[in-house]
Amino acid sequence: MNYPVIYSINGPVIKVRDTNVFSMREMVYVGNRRLVGEVIGLTAAETTIQVYEGTSGLRIGEPVAPTGSPMSVTLGPGILSNIFDGIERPLRVLESKSGAFIADGLDVPVLDSEKTYPVTIKVREGATVHPGEVYASCPETSVILHLCMVPPHLSGIIVYTAPNGDYHVNDEIVRLEDANGVVHSLTLCQKWPIRQARPSVKRLAPNRPMITGQRVIDTMFPVARGGAAAIPGGFGTGKTMTQHQIAKWCDADIIVYIGCGERGNEMTQVLEEFTALTDPRTGRSLMERTVLIANTSNMPVAAREASIYTGITLAEYYRDMGYHIAIMADSTSRWAEALREISGRLEEMPAEEGFPAYLPSRLSEFYERTGCYETLSDRKGSITVIGAVSPQGSDFSEPVTQNTKRFVRCFWGLDKSLAYARHYPAINWNLSYSEYLDELADYYNTEVNPNFTKARAEIAAILKEEQSLMDIVRLIGADVLPDDQKLIIEIARLVRVGFLQQNAFHKEDTYVPLAKQYRMMEVILHTYHLSQTLLSQGVTLRAILASGVYDKIVKIKYDIPNHDLDAFDTLIAEIDAKLQALPEKKEMIS
């Protein structure tokens, strides 16, 4: 067959002239080396294609082969514990083909076709199945049961089932006859276009937090299961660190970690650490419920653009099985930059700072694929996205941060000055917000403690008040403040250092359950109220501070183990005893 040929080459963008064989968003093979590409523009005169691999060495006149289907990912067992590039090529297989450096034009199978899985067939011959219905299951890893679902556009009658047993991903296990009498062969895997959201029955309102074990997030600015949060921050403020912590500890069933245009060493670190780490809930390696998509900053830029969609499509597939997924996207700014670069090559009219005018619509398309869903398989699943944003020059007014803010309801603004003082997570409590607070209040008050939201509000008020007091202190020093205002500054310090600041490298402090988070707030507030009473009785703040109680509270995060919450009762009794002893001392002196 005579394929159309390349007419022009400009970086990752190539053009083909005078042909009508292509359709928009179709995947194509470019050149003699069969580089993967995607059609991104069609006119009567020319077809524009972005190439997902390096175009060095490509010549005018080389063929461009259509595939007839849109850019798709393969979905099936073997995705978990794997590491892929932006267009779902398994990096371990690429390594075995081309060594340590990634060569172009490697065509490798997405899923291991040699491996067998013990499959249980879930349907009988003669049964009628609807889209999304589960027809087979197999354990994908020791912690995740993989469900094979009828593809969303298919329904009909089962005309053949294979017996239970061990099968490869491409073995036929079920045959289905649709209403037109066409027989479809179903294997363990299926394909789905990455730019199209997988269908579901309906969206559900988020009403449960995704628990991360990070106090500043869970208590102060929680993200709902099925919500979206943005972490913007300049370099060195700890975006990646925060994402690693969430990925390690959050209570999602499956983690999709997208390293989009970031550092190679970081992906290696995630791979090493997650393999070595034991998941506290399952007792198995964290990698068994994780999939990594690594398109590092030096890998082709067009594949970086695709990596975000690849990641969320994989997440949707597992959501359809009824799992709760957390996606870490690090960093959405690099994805936006890839859009900008491609847009520039297409000579499109730029909007703000050279970004294309469709940046906001692409961002909203992506973030709207999050949510809690009732799936076609009659299960409940959710996708939560934590998107890092890398604003240029730490300036939150730049287009990516601003447009992201419009589509996420939870905003964790990272602060350079906190990071400089090594206050991690450097989430600035004055900049950040969560719109989920009201929706999640019920959960906190029923599942943790009836006073949870009240305590949280009081902590937030203390921080707010400290901020306005600090404006005065910065001008005239702390000494001129009356004791009750100085107390607020001291209590706010307890909140900042003893509560908000969390040590990711300390074995107790790296993950803190909600119950302990509440007790820590309780101790701080209890001490606050007691100190207020004492001040009104004439005890000086200096005496209260000298009692050493505050220094002790700062260290409870280390001193009280996560499982021993009774220690808080002892601590509160001890604080009461020490502080209530103070007035007597004062009387003795006077």
Partner 1 sequence: MSLQYHGLHSVSGSLIVLDHVSGVSNEEMARIIMEDGSVRTGKVAMLEGDRAVLQVYEGTKGLSLTNTKIQFIGRPMEIPLSGDMLGRVFTGAGRPADGLGEVAAEKYADINGLPLNPVSRQYPRNFIQTGISAIDCLMTLIRGQKLPIFSGTGLSHNKLAVQIVQQARIAEENGQQFAVVFATIGIQHDVAEFFRRSFEESGVLQNVVMFLNLANDPIIERIITPRCALTAAEYLAYEKHMHILVVMTDISAYAEALREFSSSKGEIPGRKGYPGYLYSDLASLYERAGIIEGIDGSVTQLPILTMPNDDITHPVPDLTGYITEGQIVLDRSLEQEGVYPPIAVLPSLSRLMKDGIGEGYTRADHAAVSNQLFASYAQVQDARSLASVIGEEELSDLDRAYLRFGTYFEQCFVAQRFDENRSIEETLDLGWTLLSLLPKSALDRVDNALLDEHYNPSAAEALVQKVKEQHV
CA angle 473, 496, 532 (to 5 degrees): 70
Report d(CA 178, CA 482) in Å as an integer: 80
Cβ proximity to partner 1, 473 vs 530, nearer residue: 473
Cβ proximity to partner 1, 37 vs 322, nearer residue: 37
Cβ proximity to partner 1, 58 vs 462, nearer residue: 58
- Letters for 470-489 (x = contact with partner 1 by CB under 8 A, - = none) are ---xxxxxxx----------
Cβ proximity to partner 1, 275 vs 533, nearer residue: 275
Q: Least CB distance from residue 405 to partner 1, whole Å?
A: 20
- Which window, 66-74, 93-101, 170-178, 246-254, contacts partner 1 (CB under 8 A)? 93-101
Q: Least CB distance from residue 45 to partner 1, whole Å?
A: 13
Of residues 36, 91, 228, 459, which one binds partner 1 by CB under 8 A?
91
Size of the site for partner 1 (CB under 8 A): 77
Residue 419, judged by CB atoms within 10 A of its CB (0-12, 13-18, 19+), counts as buried
Q: Least CB distance from residue 475 to partner 1, whole Å?
A: 6
- CA–centroid distance for 366 within its chain: 12
Element (H, E) at 86: none
Q: Least CB distance from residue 59 to partner 1, whole Å?
A: 5
Q: Least CB distance from residue 356 to partner 1, whole Å?
A: 10
Nearest to 305 by CA among 267, 257, 362: 362
Report d(CA 413, CA 356) in Å as an integer: 25
Cβ proximity to partner 1, 205 vs 476, nearer residue: 476
Q: Least CB distance from residue 185 to partner 1, whole Å?
A: 33
Of residues 190, 243, 290, 296, which one binds partner 1 by CB under 8 A?
296
With binding defined as CB under 8 A, does residue 8 bind partner 1?
A: yes
Cβ proximity to partner 1, 198 vs 496, nearer residue: 496
DSSP line for 262-278: --HHHHHHHHHHHHHSB
SS3 259: strand
Q: Least CB distance from residue 226 to partner 1, whole Å?
A: 30
- Specify the long-range contacts of residues 42-49, CB closer than 8 Å, at least 24 apart: 44/20, 45/17, 45/18, 46/7, 46/15, 46/16, 46/17, 46/18, 47/4, 47/15, 47/16, 47/17, 47/19, 47/22, 48/13, 48/14, 48/15, 48/346, 49/13, 49/14, 49/15, 49/16, 49/22
With binding defined as CB under 8 A, does residue 9 bind partner 1?
A: yes
Residue burial 377-402, b: 16+ Cβ < 10 Å; e: rest: bebebbbbbbbbbbbeebebebbbbe
Q: What is the DSSP letter of 299?
A: S
Cβ proximity to partner 1, 551 vs 569, nearer residue: 551
Q: Least CB distance from residue 112 to partner 1, whole Å?
A: 15
Q: Residues 335 to 394: which contact partner 1 by CB under 8 A?
A: 337-338, 340-341, 344, 347, 350, 353-354, 390, 392-394
Q: Residues 258 to 277: which contact partner 1 by CB under 8 A?
A: 259, 261, 263-265, 267-269, 271-272
Cβ proximity to partner 1, 178 vs 564, nearer residue: 564
Identify the residue whose tokens are 């559900």. Answer: 204
Report d(CA 353, CA 529) in Å as an integer: 51
Identify the residue whose tokens are 């297989």. Answer: 93
Residue 56, judged by CB atoms within 10 A of its CB (0-12, 13-18, 19+), counts as exposed
Cβ proximity to partner 1, 478 vs 572, nearer residue: 478
Q: Is the sign of the CA dihedral 536, 542, 547, 553 positive or negative?
A: positive
With binding defined as CB under 8 A, does residue 536 bind partner 1?
A: no
Q: Residues 70 to 89: which contact partner 1 by CB under 8 A?
A: 83
With binding defined as CB under 8 A, does residue 567 bind partner 1?
A: no
Q: Hey, what amino acid is at 303?
A: A
- Which window, 188-196, 433-441, 468-476, 574-582, contacts partner 1 (CB under 8 A)? 468-476
- Letters for 10-49 (x = contact with partner 1 by CB under 8 A, - = none) are x----x----------------------------------
